[in-house]
Amino acid sequence: MRVDAAPEGLRQSMAWLHTWAGLLLGWLLFAIFLSGSLAFFKQELNLWSRPELLRLDPAPPPMTPAALARAEARLHALAPAAQSWRLSWPDERRPAALLSWREPAPAPSAASGPAPAEAKAARPRLEQRWLDPATAEPLAVRASFGAGEFFYRFHFELRSAVQSRWILEGRWLVGLASLVMLVALLSGIVTHRRIFKDFFLFRPRAKAAQRAWLDAHNLCGVLVLPFLLTITFSGLMTLHSLYLPAGIAAAYGKDSAAYFAELGGESAAERRGRPAPLPLLGEAGWTRLLAQAQREWPGARIDSLALQRGADGRPQLELSRHEGERLQYRAPLLRFDALSGQRLQLLDTAAPAARVYGVLYGLHMARFADWPLRWTLFGFGLLGSALMATGLLLWSVKRRGEVQRRGLAPGRGHRLVERLNLATVAGLPLAMAGLLWASRLLPLELAARPDAELRSFYAVWGLSLLAAALGCGWRGLWSAGALAFCGLGLVAGFEAFSARAQLTLPQAGFAPVFMLTGLLLAGLAWHCHRSATSAALAAGAPAPARASVRPDGALLRAGR
């Protein structure tokens, strides 16, 4: 008996841990997974926020010395005192070239008295311009944070503003949620001893709603279990220096920059030197340097170029290979002396620990993925989000059933969980649609327009929470989300039709994706209404005019 009782006791303990670990941070995990899934299409969603870029030729021109010389001349016209600059060349996912540079921070005037501590610690100002790769002419692009950039940043920073002051705290909270997710996954494996057998049993019309939700939860979990374990563990590893700084401090002391330099294959002595204006290389200089790079990397695709001062004060050019050419994150860098063209160093560490870290990082970022694999990973991410949602609803279904069997009314805690479920699972997609609408509808001349986009997201999400608190049901929020996404699909379809002569892949894909999302949400709203009506008729009552004010009522009946 003792031999049999011990595993059961362990399994019950793991079930308790799995239930409460998943509940306490399940709402945050759902938001992290859903926004992280959208981040697989970060570049495409950024194009939606900047429709001016969609009018460019979808086939980017090749990187030639003449094109680089034009971009360099444009830089010197825009910022002759730039300390360093970087040019990211367009590819199949980004049709425009992005030129960024750093200018010296403005010095405090003598008339203003002693400089405050903030001015003394001021950093060089970062500026960016989008360029037409064929002519190097600056493009008139609206100010936008970028929907894809926001979803990417939100899923590991919980960013609330462009210059958010709570990024570090957000990363700590996401790290805690990721650790809880890992605990929930491992405890779930121990808890469900028939998990793989139950994977083949999906009974959406089971009489017990709890059985239907448990089947859905098991199905989502088992189907993407390797993906969930990989993405959770690798996500923790990406911010290892924040969560586990003791090892770095023990080996490198206070010079943590030396650790990161070595992680990228660079020694501390080779870090950047004093700032100074950079020279103009011209077409002849670019011809010599690109020829050098082709001899080092035959047939490789160059993603970006950076010009800056080295420790000895001489200008150095760094060429980076395209990130999609290998699994390991941190593309190798080739460094040249910008004046003589002499090869200085290949920055690509061979340390086993750094390579393992790079592979884990690369698996999490998935920048190597082509279109079929990217859509597959996106689908896995949605199933992971569904795992969180079904787990939250399963908790609510089980507790409500226990309360009803006892003839009691749900307590405040249970009602709070139901409303948070509604505001998170149905309200977050609506907030995402609100951000996509804001990036198109906000006035172009609006000051701090990127911050206004982000505030729109949180405002819509807050309104969904308020609606849930006031008694709005699932059907109401699903319907609002369906209207929002179908409207986005109509706008995207009109834009694609008007630009059919030069239809790009993102421009052609926005309309069907938005419409399918809207139709899916509309189907959920209709299913909630039908289930609520059927339950009312079965009880002999008149059909309700709207969905039950109980946030999970219609969804529970849908499981019967």
Kindly report, residue by residue over 87-110, the tens digit of the pLDDT.
999 988 888 999 999 877 665 554
Distance of CA 111 to the CA centre of its chain: 46
pLDDT tens for each residue of 458-489: 999 999 999 999 988 899 999 999 999 999 99
Q: Whole-angstrom Cα distance, residue 37 to residue 509?
A: 17
Query: Order of strands, edge to edge, in the sheet holding 84-88?
Result: 125-131, 97-103, 84-88, 302-309, 315-321, 333-337, 343-347
The confidence score (pLDDT) of residue 315 equals 84
Residue 230 has pLDDT above 90, yes or no: yes
Mean pLDDT over 288-295 rounds to 88
SS3 of 215-254: the string is HHHHHHHHHCHHHHHHHHHHHHHHCHHHHCHHHHHHHHCC
User: 3-class SS at 136?
Assistant: coil
517: its two tokens: 């999302």
Residue 76 has pLDDT above 50, yes or no: yes
Residue 522 has pLDDT above 70, yes or no: yes
Q: Whole-angstrom Cα distance, residue 234 to residue 240?
A: 10
Mean pLDDT over 407-427 rounds to 88
* Nearest alpha-carbon partner for 82 in 129, 24, 44: 129
Q: What is the mean pLDDT of the chain?
A: 83
Highest mean pLDDT among 21-30, 293-302, 373-382: 373-382
Q: Whole-angstrom Cα distance, residue 521 to residue 480?
A: 9
Residue 113 has pLDDT above 70, yes or no: no
The answer to whether 22 and 391 are in contact (CB under 8 A) is yes
The answer to whether 182 and 195 are in contact (CB under 8 A) is no
Residue 372 has pLDDT above 80, yes or no: yes
Q: Which amino acid is at 209?
A: A
The answer to whether 334 and 346 are in contact (CB under 8 A) is yes
φ, ψ dihedrals at 312, nearest 5°: -90, 0
Q: In this prediction, what percent of the chain has a pLDDT beyond 70?
A: 82
Residue 68 has pLDDT above 50, yes or no: yes
The confidence score (pLDDT) of residue 552 equals 45
The confidence score (pLDDT) of residue 107 equals 56
pLDDT bin (cut points 50, 70, 90) of residue 198 is low
Cα 542 to Cα 475, 526, 538: the distances in Å are 18, 18, 10
The confidence score (pLDDT) of residue 504 equals 67
Distance of CA 310 to the CA centre of its chain: 33
The confidence score (pLDDT) of residue 118 equals 44
The confidence score (pLDDT) of residue 166 equals 85
Residue with token string 């950024």: 46
Residue 244 has pLDDT above 70, yes or no: yes
Q: Which amino acid is at 120?
A: K
Q: How many residues does the chain have?
A: 560
Distance of CA 501 to the CA centre of its chain: 32
Q: Whole-angstrom Cα distance, residue 514 to residue 522?
A: 12
User: Which of 4-13, 147-156, 276-285, 455-464 has the weakest average pLDDT?
Assistant: 4-13
Q: What is the pTM of this model?
A: 0.87
User: 3-class SS at 273?
Assistant: coil
Element (DSSP H or E) covering residue 95: none
Q: Whole-angstrom Cα distance, residue 499 to residue 501?
A: 5
Secondary structure tally for the chain: helices H, strands E: 22, 7
Residue 3 has pLDDT above 50, yes or no: no
pLDDT tens for each residue of 131-164: 999 889 999 999 999 999 999 999 999 988 888 8
The number of CA neighbours under 13 Å toward the Cβ of 383 is 19
The answer to whether 278 and 53 are in contact (CB under 8 A) is no
Q: Whole-angstrom Cα distance, residue 471 to residue 423?
A: 11
Residue 490 has pLDDT above 90, yes or no: yes
pLDDT bin (cut points 50, 70, 90) of residue 560 is very low
Mean pLDDT over 49-63 rounds to 84
Domain coordinates of the chain in residue numbers?
Answer: 1-56+142-238+370-408, 59-105+125-138+265-348, 416-560
Residues 6+ positions from 142 with CB-CB distance below 8 Å = 49, 50, 52, 444, 449
Q: Whole-angstrom Cα distance, residue 145 to residue 152?
A: 11
In this structure, the strands spanning 302-309 and 125-131 are: unpaired
Report H helices in 133-224: 147-157, 167-191, 195-198, 209-223
* Nearest alpha-carbon partner for 275 in 403, 117, 104: 104
